[in-house]
Copies of this chain bind each other. A is one copy, B any other.
Amino acid sequence: MENNAESTEKKESRSDNGSGALNDMTLLFPAKAENESFARVVVSAFLVRRNPTLEEVGDVKTAVSEAVTNAIVHGYRGASGDVTLYACVADDLFIVEVRDNGVGIADVEKAMKPFYTDKPDEERSGMGFTVMQTFMDEVSVESEVGVGTRVTMKKRLKYANGI
């Protein structure tokens, strides 16, 4: 995984060709639990202009909440750092990405297994990735130990007739 979050953001935002069909946003915020709800509100506000169903908004909020919580709890383990939330929508395809520059995941396949958690004592259920997979059409994880983690999630929207 490339750890150059800034150049990546730049590229992504520049990918906008001004056609009006594509819109995107990048949000950076500190890894604090109080920002989980903020991240959900921002992604909803971004999505809502594309005329999503209530269910789609709920699905996206939940998936983003899981990924952001993971960045805070597992990626940074309570230490300070930034979480990046990138979202983009083009026609009916909505893509959202959550990145951290935290500890990374040694075995992604194992981490994504239902009920797997490295924090059972804190009552983590190990269902975060499973929730993401249930509520989104596609979830992919790139991670490197000591560098960070990037979770990319895609969803096709039923009605793409927003602005």
Stretch touching chain B among A24-32, A51-59, A129-137, A147-155: A24-32
B34–A30 touching, CB < 8 Å: no
Cβ proximity bits A7-46 to B, threshold 8 Å, 1 near / 0 not: 1011001101110100111111110101100100110011
So how many copies of this chain end up in the complex? 2
Instruction: Determine whether A82 belongs to the interface, using a CB cutoff of 8 Å to chain B.
Output: yes
Q: How many A residues, CB 8 Å from partner? A: 31
B23–A34 touching, CB < 8 Å: yes
A80–B16 touching, CB < 8 Å: yes
B45–A30 touching, CB < 8 Å: no
Of chain B, the residue at the smallest CB distance from A45 is B41
5 contacting pairs across A/B (C-beta < 8 A):
A16-B80, A23-B34, A25-B38, A27-B42, A38-B49
